[in-house]
Amino acid sequence: MSLTLIIILAALVVAALYAALLYTNLVRLEHRVAKAWSNIDAALKQRHDELAKLVEACKRYMPHEQETLTRVVEARGAVLAAQRAGKLRDLGRAETELRAGLERLLALAENYPELKADRAFRQLAQRLSQLEDRIADRRGLYNDSVNLNNKRLERFPAVLVARLLGFRPAELLRFQDAHKDADVAKLFA
């Protein structure tokens, strides 16, 4: 065997090992994004259930606020539909609408002392506040995971392996209004 052939074979082996290492890293990052999304998904489902209970509690005390309650229910449905479809842009828009509806609902609740005094309402509001905090934290972790994944997909030589094997960038979860997650959580306090 000639020295040139040995060098070529050694270079091919090193290149194959490096490509395998890159592939493993890309798979790990992809799984990290999926796990982070799974955590958001679980928190959104929990909040979905709690919102239904909150609306029912409000209906008893706020019969004249049906339009606001209907908006919250519709926004809740839009969040669930976008979540099931995995459409993050639609989810961001629906979250924006839901948060605006909740803000309006809770502002109106201030006018109903019996509602504010209701133990179930207070517990639901507290639970929703905790879920809002959890969603905000998990959304931050998800977006961090997406950024790491997407940056790695753009770097050379990983970009070659990623394109060859069909890896795609993930989408950030963004809300489209000026509300901050913590601001919405304060509404439930």
pLDDT tens-place string over residues 166-177: 999 999 988 764
Per the structure, the count of domains in the chain is 1
CATH of the domain at 89: 1.20.1440.20
120 and 57 Cβ atoms separated by less than 8 Å: yes
> Which tops the pLDDT comparison, 186 or 154?
154
Query: Is a pLDDT exceeding 60 seen at residue 82?
Result: yes
**Cα–Cα–Cα angle for 126, 132, 96, rounded to 5 degrees:** 125
Predicted confidence at residue 180, as pLDDT, reads: 46
Domain that holds residue 99: 3-187
Query: Is a pLDDT exceeding 60 seen at residue 181?
Result: no
Query: Is a pLDDT exceeding 60 seen at residue 185?
Result: no
Look at the block and give the residue holding tokens 């629906």: 94
Report the residue count for the chain.
189
pLDDT bucket at 138, cuts 50 / 70 / 90:
very high
**How far is CA 133 from its chain centroid?**
12
Question: 39: buried, middle or exposed (CB in 10 Å: 19+, 13-18, 0-12)?
Answer: middle
Look at the block and give the residue holding tokens 């019996």: 114
> Which tops the pLDDT comparison, 5 or 188?
5
Q: What is the pLDDT of residues 12-66, one digit of tens each?
A: 999 999 999 999 999 999 999 999 999 998 999 999 899 989 988 888 888 888 8
Cα–Cα distances (Å) from 186 to 70, 104, 107, 135, in that order, read 23, 13, 12, 14
Predicted confidence at residue 78, as pLDDT, reads: 92
